[in-house]
Amino acid sequence: MPDTTPIRILIADDQQDIIDALRLLLLDEGYEVTPARSPGEALERLEASDFDLALLDLNYTRDTTSGQEGFDLMERLRALDPTLPVLVMTAWSSVAGAVEAMRRGARDYIEKPWDDERLLVAVRTQIELRRAVRRSQRLQEANSRLQRGATPAFIGTAAAIVETRQTIERIAPSDASVLITGEHGTGKEVVAAWVHALSDRRGRPLITMNAGGLAEGIAESELFGHVKGAFTDARVDRIGCFEMADEGTLFLDEIANMPMRLQAKLLRVLQTGEMARVGSSRVRYVNVRVISATNADLPTEIAAGRFREDLLYRLNTVVIHLPPLRERRSDIEALARHFLGIYAARYRKPITTFDADAMAAMQAHGWPGNVRELAHAVERAVLMAETAAVSIAARHLSLRAKAGGEAAAPEDLSLEDAERVFIEKVLARHGGDVRLAAEQLGMSRSALYRRLQQYGVRE
Ligand SMILES: Nc1ncnc2c1ncn2[C@@H]1O[C@H](COP(=O)(O)OP(=O)(O)OP(=O)(O)O)[C@@H](O)[C@H]1O
Ligand SMILES: [Mg+2]
């Protein structure tokens, strides 16, 4: 993805020497210039792609004095893109013309022959204003998706976690794509938040999109936005995650579940930095750092024809793998204490610690739902504990499915508990992959999700 988005200026003038002079001046300042020699050509250019500013001549040869053609063009350009700043130029100096141009929406007015310095100042000012307007619009729309409050805690001293923290510090400031892998509840979203927080994009939005939970058409419009009329329900223009995340970070969660067709579109945007809203062919430029996450094994998905290999190579410049909690048991205690602090405060209980039997039960548990399951177990225990309790006992935790050979025999359990134990085992065997577990259990993915939510294994 390009590092910086070029600033693009459209020049409409029917005199080649004027276009050449302006082009040289603007190119020198690092702008990208697109000339149009007629009003029709200017409209075509704007329909085809996004510009930061238009510089328009008010007088075309067919109609050299009234400026009517120039005014018409200006209005049509502004109808196409209401936020586009338009600077008008004219050879005749008339206050009336200037006033009329401003009344019709021009941002500034330049007389020919122009003064280079004054023209550049006008261009720079309008572009900065436009960027500020766009940024605030984007922030408004993005607000609902923004991570609220501080970056979440990332607890742990297990070797894998220490190493992960070092990797994050090292790679966060670059724009490298990051792929985070790991079972459900291992902290992938926490890592994504930290990569963003330690990057130079931290002042910009971090936008999260779940790539798997939506129907293909809806997912596409979530990702790229749509224009009014693009499909039956598209009553207004809508900005998508890519545009919301412009200059910031886009977190694509559950990337393995993204439909193939959408994978192709995503790949194209990542390769070119160009996108279009659904229902529009107008090219927009986005500057986005992509972080993605999955609990699936992408090489397996690729072999099965469900994931594009070329997309994987765009996403996995850096790979961060979070091991399951059962493989970093040394962190269970610190994590449990961390969650205890949070929930004791939230539910106003005087609990400050765990009994030895509670700690032993947590150490022995399999944690198929990983850190999230631990958080839920502690929350439940805090709620279950007697009002005056100052510590959590094993009975408050209700961790019935123990790891290894310690599990209670199925015939000692209620049907519900037996089902839970069984489902957790199947889930653990499939590395937390809900799709595979559901397949083996012969139930639908959504039914399995509901069960897991009941157990507090998933959110
Ligand atoms: N190392 C950690 N320190 C503190 N809290 C953590 C840690 N890892 C995970 N959590 C907490 O556990 C919960 C689950 O983490 P998170 O949502 O990041 O998991 P995930 O890997 O994205 O799961 P899923 O695949 O289900 O989306 C969150 O509340 C998160 O804040
Ligand atoms: Mg997640």
Give one DSSP letter per residue of 170-204, joined into a string: HHTTS---EEEE-STTSSHHHHHHHHHHTSTTTTS
**Token code pair at residue 318:** 């850096």
- In tens, the pLDDT along 339-390 reads 999 999 988 899 999 999 999 999 999 999 999 999 999 998 998 888 888 9
Is residue 184 lining ligand 1, measured as CB closer than 6 Å?
Answer: yes
Q: Which two tokens stand for residue 268?
A: 């194209």
pLDDT at residue number 64: 53
Q: What distance in angstroms lies between residue 449's CA and the mean position of ligand 1's atoms?
A: 17
Q: Once rounded to an integer, what is the mean pLDDT over residues 157-163?
A: 95
If DSSP states are collapsed to H, E and C, what string results for 317-386? CEEEECCCHHHCHHHHHHHHHHHHHHHHHHCCCCCCEECHHHHHHHHHECCCCHHHHHHHHHHHHHHHCC
Q: Does residue 159 carry a pLDDT above 50?
A: yes
Task: Please answer whether residues 368 and 431 qualify as being in contact, where contact means their C-beta atoms are separated by less than 8 angstroms.
Answer: no
Q: What per-residue confidence (pLDDT) applies to 82?
A: 78
Angstrom distance (rounded) from CA 182 to CA 184: 7
Distance, in Å, from the CA atom of 256 to the CA atom of 179, rounded to the nearest integer, reads 11
Token pair for 391: 């510590």
- Name the nearest CA neighbour of 366 among 309, 411, 408, 324: 324
Q: Given this model, what pLDDT does residue 403 score?
A: 42
How far apart (Å, rounded) are the C-alpha atoms in residues 322 and 300? Answer: 18
Position with higher pLDDT, 264 vs 384: 264
Q: Is 188 in the pocket of ligand 1 (CB under 6 A)?
A: yes
Q: Which of 25, 41, 38, 32 is nearest to 9 (CA)?
A: 32
The number of the ligand nearest the C-alpha atom of 449 reads 1
Share above pLDDT 90 across residues of the chain, in percent, rounded to a whole number? 51
Residue 179's contacts (CB-CB under 8 Å, 6 or more residues apart) are: 255, 291, 292, 293, 294, 298, 312, 315, 316, 317, 318, 319, 320
E strand or H helix that includes residue 57: strand 53-57
Cα 134 to middle of ligand 2, angstroms: 29
- Residue of minimum CA distance from atom 15 in ligand 1: 187
Q: pLDDT tens digits for 77-117? A: 888 887 889 998 876 656 667 677 777 778 888 888 888 99
pLDDT for the residue numbered 4: 62
Distance 120 CA to ligand 2 centre (A): 47
189 lines ligand 1 (CB under 6 A): yes
> Which residue has the CA at smallest separation from atom 18 of ligand 1?
187
For residue 430, how far is its CA from the centre of ligand 2 (angstroms)?
Answer: 18
| For the CA of 331, the nearest atom of ligand 1 | 1
| Integer Cα distance of 191 and 179 in angstroms | 10
Half-sphere exposure of 240 (CA within 13 A, CB side): 27
Which tops the pLDDT comparison, 101 or 247? 247
Average pLDDT, the chain: 86
Distance 64 CA to ligand 1 centre (A): 67
Give the residue from 340, 226, 327, 333 showing the smallest Cα distance to 276: 226
pLDDT tens digit sequence for 38-91:
888 999 998 888 899 999 887 765 555 566 777 888 888 888 887 889 998 876
Per cent of the chain over pLDDT 70 is 88
- Nearest-CA neighbor of 123 among 112, 106, 108, 111? 108
